[in-house]
Structure formats: C-alpha cells, structure tokens
Amino acid sequence: MTTHETCSIGSCKLGAVPRAVAIIDGPLALDKIKTIEELGADMLEVRVDCFEDGIDGVCEYIASTRRACSLPLIGTIRETARTRNNRSALFAKIIPLVDAVDIEIAAAIAPAIIAMSAGKTVIVSEHDFERTPGSAELEAIARRAAALGGHIVKIAAMAHEREDVVRLLEFTHRCPLPAVAFSMGEYGAISRVMSMLFGSLFSYGYVTKANAPGQLPLNKLVEELRMYYPEVVPQSPNRG
C-alpha cells in the first residue's frame, strides 16, 4: 500500500501500520479509557462538540485523559448551533492539550485554526453526506487541503453503489498528500477496513454510538484490522 512513514500524530507513526482511532464523544470514565487503550486503539479523537460540559470542563477531562493513558489525542470541534459563534475560541483552548486537530476544509475559520495549530498535526477534512465526488473533485480537495497547510487530508463520502467506493479507494491510492478516506453508508462499510490497503492512514471506531453511517464499533474495527493486516498486532511496538 502507499505509505507516508514520515507522518505522525504525537507518538503514533502513520503509514506503515493501519491505525485505529477511538471516538470519544462524551466524558468516559478514565478506567474505560484504559480499557480502550488495552483493546488496541492507537489514538483517541475527542469530539468536543458532542460534550455537554463547558469548554473548561472538557479541557480538564482532556488533561485527565492524557495522564491516564499514552494514546495521542486528536481534537475535533464540528460546527453546531452551540459552537457556531465561538469555535475559534474553543479550538484555542484545546490545541495546547492535543496532538492533532481536525478542521473542515470549507470552514471560514480553517486558515486561522491551522495557523493557531503550529507544531501540531493538522487534519483537513471534507464530509459529503449526499454523494461521492468525482475523481477531479477529489483531487481538487487534496490540492486545497495542501494549500491550506494541512498535513493529512480526510475525505468521508456517501456511497450509493460499489463504484463510488472504488473511485474513492483509487483516489486514496494515488493521493500525493497523506490521506484518510472512507465511504459512508451500507455500501461503504467495507471501506472502513479496506481503505488502508489503498493507503488510508487510519480508521475510526465508535465507543458509545456511531457518529456516521457505516461506522464500526471500535472492538470490531480492531478485530478486523488484526485479521486482515498481519502488521497489526496487540500493543504494537510501532506506536511510538
């Protein structure tokens, strides 16, 4: 598969070994975080926009999580009615506490968030819940992500037929920028595992509930990665 071995998030090297990201969309008990680490997650994505606590409480939780486990953290704040007017300020609070940030390519605040994230890994993301873009559109998304200063381009697109999945996987294989890509929906579920054969760096597994159509539970994702990728082993020494 295509690899980008110089790319990393915190201590987690990306490219040579498919990685599993556990989605934390609410304050889990710290012993549960340790269980997630032992299960085989390589990183945690903290979905700040899903937390009901205020940002100071979320920051305290992130700091406690860092002390409780060794997994790198991705900080994500999607635009919602609650975050729409203060996302930049929220990002400013969490950036010192995480190893990477995820910001949408179309967000007006993207350039400012990327500049604010100097020294961190930046994931520039595109989510299309209606369709899978054509090949030229996918390539344009990657070019725009690179122009913005993103280190990783992430594309999640709805698949209505197998050809949509194939097109996204083919794009992933030839993408010049380190990429995370997968299809959503019933047809796209297979890409949550297969995309890494085409060069996608990691996949997301949910802990409490699915955040997108076709998303796998973390334990199932880890099980599938260990089944189909011999380089994925329990407590992989390549994490650091």
Tens-digit pLDDT profile for residues 122-172: 999 999 999 999 999 999 999 999 999 999 999 999 999 999 999 999 999
End-to-end Cα distance, the chain: 21
Which residues lie across from 172 on neighbouring strands? none
In the predicted model, is pLDDT for residue 240 greater than 70?
A: no
**Structure tokens of 193?**
């595992």
Give the residue carrying structure tokens 């915190």: 10
Q: Is 224 helix (H, G, I), strand (E, B) or coil?
A: helix
Confidence of residue 6 (pLDDT cuts 50, 70, 90): low
Exposed / middle / buried, residue 240 (Cβ in 10 Å: 0-12, 13-18, 19+): exposed
Higher pLDDT, 3 or 47: 47
pLDDT tens digits for range 91-125: 999 999 999 999 999 999 999 999 999 999 999 99
* Residue 154 appears among annotated catalytic residues: yes
pLDDT tens digits for range 51-94: 998 999 999 999 999 999 999 999 999 999 999 999 999 999 99
Which residues lie across from 122 on neighbouring strands? 101
Long-range contacts of 104-108 (CB under 8 A, 24+ apart): 104/78, 104/79, 105/141, 105/144, 105/145, 105/148, 105/150, 105/153, 107/79
Q: Which of 4, 13, 120, 154 is catalytic?
A: 154
Which amino acid would we find at residue 142? A
| pLDDT reported for residue 210 | 78
**Structure tokens of 57?**
């409480």
Q: Which of 93, 127, 160, 220 is catalytic?
A: 127
Higher pLDDT, 16 or 3: 16
DSSP letters for 41-103: --EEEEEGGG--S-HHHHHHHHHHHHHH----EEEE----TTTTTTHHHHHHHHGGG-SEEEE
pLDDT tens digits for range 172-219: 999 999 999 999 999 999 999 999 999 999 999 999 887 777 889 999
